[in-house]
Amino acid sequence: MIKTLRAILKWLSEPAAVAAAMVCATTAIAQPFYVPSGSMEPTIQIGDALLGSKFAYGYSRYSLPYGVGPQSVRRLFGRLPHRGDVVVFRLPRDPKVTYVKRVVGLPGDHLQMVHGRLFINGQAVPLKRAGTGQVEEEDGSRHAIDRYIETLPGGSGHPIFKSGWNGPLDNTALFVVPKGHLFMMGDNRDNSLDSRVAAADGGVGMVPMENLVARADLTLGSIDYLNAESPVGWLARIRLSRFLHLL
């Protein structure tokens, strides 16, 4: 009986060790994420599988599986993101939901949208026309859209899509980012639910540092299977150009 029990424990030890190593790795080092929406186009496309660095900003309860750790306003080994970082985070009004957006505002920053232009601390963020691109909607349809390069304070430049200048989120009140929080926006500016909409109104609002999960560093691959008619059609949805693509 004892020999049988030892044999069972020995048989279970290897898969248990592999599972423990995977949990530790996805908690402390890196974790993959799938993107089902187009709010971060053109930087991130529908169907992209991202690899996020878990150690970039330190650790909070949301670094653990299912967010089972203790609540705290301080992060272990915490570091503030840079403006322009693409960040995976838990939605403040519903932490079971994971979002990915770009950090545009740091604690103490004053931000406002005026006729579609982003102002940070009273200065319009430089915006340069960069031709046109193809934006994909959630139903798989595509259409042309104007493309720009936006350069945030500190010199971080990134592409955005913009189709107009007087949309619902193009003129806002002045936002002041509280201590320990961040202001997030999507690169697909006219189709992004982000910090421009308060959590009480169904938006993102200000994001506490505690809610950060990872910094998105690259796409592992891209398969837009949500818009494939059947599993057979998945092959046609593979984007080879998105494999190992740095963000």
When mean pLDDT is compared across 73-87, 147-161, 166-180, 188-202, the lowest value belongs to 73-87
Q: Is 101 noted as a catalytic residue in this protein?
A: yes
pLDDT of the residue at 71: 81
Q: What is the pTM of this model?
A: 0.86
User: Under CATH, what is the fold of the domain 30-246?
Assistant: Umud Fragment, subunit A (2.10.109)
Q: What b-and-e string marks burial along 202-225, b requiring 16 or more CB atoms within 10 Å of the CB?
A: ebbbbbbbbbbbbbbebbebbbbb
Q: Where is pLDDT greater, at 236 or 216?
A: 216
62 CB-contact burial (10 Å; exposed 0-12 / middle 13-18 / buried 19+): buried
The model's pLDDT over 174-186, given as tens digits with 9 standing for 90+, comes to 999 999 999 999 9
Average pLDDT over residues 81-110: 97
pLDDT in tens, 99-135: 999 999 999 999 999 999 999 999 999 999 999 999 9
Write down the catalytic residue from 39, 60, 192, 195.
Answer: 39
Pairing of strands 117-120, 212-222: unpaired
Q: Which of 54, 60, 63, 101 is catalytic?
A: 101
Helix or strand run (H / E) with residue 18: helix 2-28
237 vs 223 pLDDT, higher one = 223
Q: Is 39 a catalytic residue?
A: yes
Nearest to 84 by CA among 162, 157, 160: 157
Which band of pLDDT confidence, cut at 50, 70 and 90, is reported for residue 5?
very low
